[in-house]
Amino acid sequence: MKVVVKVGTHAIAAKSGKPDYAALRRLVSQLCELRKQGHEIVFVSSGAVAAGVEALGLTARPKDVNDIQMCAAVGQARFISEYEKLFESHGVKIGQCLLTHYDFEDRRRAQNVKKSLDHLVKQGIVPVVNENDVVADEELKGQTFGDNDWLSFLIAKLVKADALVLLTTVDGLLDAKGRRIPEVANPRNVMKLVRAGEKGNLSKGGMDSKLKAVKAAVAGGIDVYIANGRKAVLLPLLAGKSVGTFFPGSAL
């Protein structure tokens, strides 16, 4: 099975932006185990800007575009270096892929992205994908990926993934009373019922951006899961256990 796994900033970082090393080790261990089981993994991870926020001693994600790009430039090296060490401890190589909207708007560029990702996976290398916040222009509304939620859908569509897993800090999609919804047969009907929650001060996503990605992915025949990235959920999730919220592909 080809699986795109996306993790949000708050699932792998403390409130200060400093990496949560226990969460990172737990996540990487699960990803490597999935590879051993024969799954093809593309890993989409947020966190570079948050790492820069911590490194620069800031108290929150800045709003100025230049400051965000500065945080990304400083944090990206720390971000990928930590992943390299963690994956290497399992004998797994990684390859960094930084993308923007422009890489998907042009068909030739998109096909080059697909070829690169496919080749990395075939060679046993786990692609670690992130938005290139150093050059992404956040002043253009709608031209960012929503903490990588939309990016993860675009990647899943591009590589023809069987499943997309969105890891967040809650146990799945929650109803108005805060209860987990195990499965959603039709995402259009649940949009007005869920409690979307709030995004944190280190990220730019939230449940709304995830639901947008979910709707697009399932319409394209991709199974989608939303689950708690701070727990060891990946293995049971792909084994069919009810540990998050499942959106079956082709539901729309």
Among 13-17, 19-23, 147-151, 222-226, the minimum mean pLDDT is found in 13-17
Distance CA 132, CA 138 (A): 11
Specify whether the CB–CB gap between 65 and 49 falls below 8 A: no
pLDDT tens digits for range 96-131: 999 988 899 899 999 999 999 999 999 999 999 999
Distance CA 144, CA 198 (A): 18
Tell whether domain 2-247 is in CATH 3.40.1160.10: yes
| pLDDT tier for residue 140 given thresholds of 50, 70 and 90 | very low
Tell whether pTM > 0.85.
yes
Amino acid identity for residue 207 in this structure: M
Would you call 172 helix, strand, or coil by DSSP?
coil
206 or 153: which leads in pLDDT: 153
Number of Cβ within a 10 Å radius of residue 182: 13
| 223-228 and 244-247 strand pairing | antiparallel
Token pair 């990647």 is found at 155
**DSSP states of 72-109:** HHHHHHHHHHHHHHHHHTTT-EEEEEEE-THHHHSHHH
Measured CA distances, 231 to 19, 70, 87, 188 (Å): 16, 31, 18, 28
Q: Where are the domains of the chain?
A: 2-247
Distance CA 84, CA 82 (A): 5
Predicted local confidence at residue 205, as pLDDT? 44
